[in-house]
Structure 1
């Protein structure tokens, strides 16, 4: 185990864990993950000695605040959650695992009193839900809509409440290297410098193309409080419907939405469900050599990347939804999860209009994915 005074052979892949002012390096295995669906980054680092005994385990314990870097790039600010250790007659091993500061929003209860927010912006409500756990909120999409009413549900975590709010408001969230909760737009991290290209940098690729969760019609049902213009019958019959002619046989899904729902919100929720499910059905994973692109930048999630893969049938821009950096005896490599960006868009395009988009030679899914998506 090295401290920060020992310079490794490859600074670009040097992984350092800083706790209490000391930086620890020399790990023999590393896994670091970040993604749009996880809301908190995670890491596991470890070292194995071929003989029992040897160095004392690193004096780091659960609950320690930490920073993780790849080279000079900060990639995670969070807490140590586990310090696994193991040994046998031939070796000893110990590791450290942790997650971003935002893990407390994922794991812990929403504590706000009173448990109701009226006529506040999305950003203000999210900031209030995050405040009891000391989590800062950064918005790349402004303050968001003003929400008439958002009420906490018994037993839900802070992030479950945030997630309900964001789904209705058609926004996404993630975390950043500083451990903040980020309200973001798809692709707001920019465009990847390199493409993901078979024959250039792809070690392996796979996609399930599983449409079992897709339907021809989505019905979202909910309630709306009565007012001078709405009586009881109307208040209890809020419904929004979104159809998807890309699913050619009749398949209907009914979803219930809690909270004070309007017809417009129900329609938007149904449309979000339609586009999100098609996007997940067309998701893929690629394993790419190395953690950095040819310009030296780390691969990052929420970037737009061009995917060229005639075997899986892609030749289009996709959204990097998750990144996992790994290092072991086989070297360093990165797994990139990609999906159609419209599955994460705050305002997904109409699928009927998507059919009219220009077709791109080499892509087999132009009837499912808008070819016109570009972030530049």
Structure 2
């Protein structure tokens, strides 16, 4: 397989498509390139790039197949190389190459590269630095201290002012496990961006998608499990906090909160024992998050649409609000894009969008569920889940 190379100001560009003219049949704005060691590789035949608001490290897998006989593909990438992945001119991932798989048989050889965001280090690695305990600091300040050993930049888009009286790293936990405890307690979300930074976000802060997801128009396929076995009628949270001159005795050793979900008819109780320093306010937030999050996961659905870009030319991205019309499942409502995966292969160029109600990701401590009014679905469609969630989502001011 012939390589096509041209000098660039930043290095070399190599097409792995096997075309002698160096051009790919795909759209220019959906052309995937991998930049590593001053070389930019393109012409990938199989692509998978994923990002989501429930994970802080996006991933990629790129591969190309060459047929024998002929010149082999040349992908000079080693484990640990820093790399950038772009779709057109959009930087979608900055991270590390973790693997360079090779597979071959008598007819062909396939070479690839896979890797993850810079933030993958805080997912994999232990929180073993110093200090290991913080007192009376803001949540974001503690997160910055936890990830600093791995050189990860933190961007706070929420402006949260939550302060914890105590946070201690538990033995053996990874950096992100410690961060995740902070996020769950404070009802915050952390993801990464194309530059490999850790981003603390609010649901829907990426704005609204310009296109809707409409079955019969732009949906190739869709579906979900709609499994409510993990949903309960009552959630209880119990724990304790360190005593002081103002909080002592039972007030410190018996911290608890509970919340009910009247949407669930029969008696089902979920008890959460929270480790660490638990305040009454954090316990209330914890049960509110648990209730809404479990409904959210039960209604999670995935749709596949043709192409990676919307009609305005922008990529489909996670944390956007999108209107979904699916008369087969029964959706006619605004939903949150929780995860997006850009794929290319035998089925073509496809964006797989995992959508869910935003309620379970909402960071505010108030019980907004009771404050929202159920809206009837639009004429001609209707929504089968109005008894669980409002038809449209509006962020409370």
> In structure 2, how many angstroms separate the alpha carbons of the residues matched to 1:121 and 1:262?
14
Is the 1:238–1:262 contact (alpha carbons within 8 Å) kept by the matching residues of 2?
A: yes
Residue in structure 2 matching 1:351, options 352, 358, 369: 369
> In structure 1, how many angstroms separate the alpha carbons of the residues matched to 2:304 and 2:171?
41
**Deviations 1:79-131 (Å, cap 9, x if unpaired)?**
00001001111111111000000000110011331211111111111111111
Residue in structure 1 matching 2:295, options 263, 275, 278: 278
Structure-2 change in CA distance of 1:222 and 1:49 (3 Å): same
> In structure 1, how many angstroms separate the alpha carbons of the residues matched to 2:211 and 2:246?
55
Give the aligned length: 375
SS at match of 2:166: strand
Residue in structure 1 matching 2:209, options 192, 214, 230: 192
Residue 234 of structure 1 deviates from its aligned partner by: 3.1
**Deviations 1:133-185 (Å, cap 9, x if unpaired)?**
01000111125312211111111110011110011111111000000000000
Aligned pairs (5 A) from 1:93-172: 93-172=110-189
2:389 is the alignment partner of 1:369: yes
**Deviations 1:50-78 (Å, cap 9, x if unpaired)?**
21562254110110000000111110000
SS at match of 2:282: helix
User: What is the CA RMSD across the aligned residues, in angstroms?
Assistant: 1.6
Residue in structure 1 matching 2:42, options 21, 25, 34: 25
2:257 is the alignment partner of 1:257: no
> In structure 1, how many angstroms separate the alpha carbons of the residues matched to 2:167 and 2:395?
33
SS at match of 1:268: helix
> In structure 2, how many angstroms separate the alpha carbons of the residues matched to 1:40 and 1:229?
41
Is the 2:296–2:360 contact (alpha carbons within 8 Å) kept by the matching residues of 1?
A: yes
Residue 233 of structure 1 deviates from its aligned partner by: 3.1
Instruction: Name the TM-score, length of structure 1 as normaliser.
Output: 0.96
2:312 is the alignment partner of 1:295: yes
**Deviations 1:270-315 (Å, cap 9, x if unpaired)?**
1100000000101100010111111111100000000011111111
Is the 1:2–1:24 contact (alpha carbons within 8 Å) kept by the matching residues of 2?
A: no
Matched residue, 2:257: 240
Is the 1:19–1:66 contact (alpha carbons within 8 Å) kept by the matching residues of 2?
A: yes
Runs (5+) with no aligned partner, structure 2: 6-12, 15-21
Return 85-94 or 230-239, whichever deviates more: 230-239
Structure-2 change in CA distance of 1:182 and 1:372 (3 Å): same
Residue 7 of structure 1 deviates from its aligned partner by: 4.4
Q: Which runs of 4+ in 1 moved over 4 A?
A: none
Matched residue, 1:331: 348
> In structure 2, how many angstroms separate the alpha carbons of the residues matched to 1:252 and 1:285?
29
> In structure 2, how many angstroms separate the alpha carbons of the residues matched to 1:227 and 1:259?
16
> In structure 2, how many angstroms separate the alpha carbons of the residues matched to 1:334 and 1:375?
26
**Deviations 1:222-265 (Å, cap 9, x if unpaired)?**
11112223333332211111110111100001111111111121
SS at match of 1:336: strand
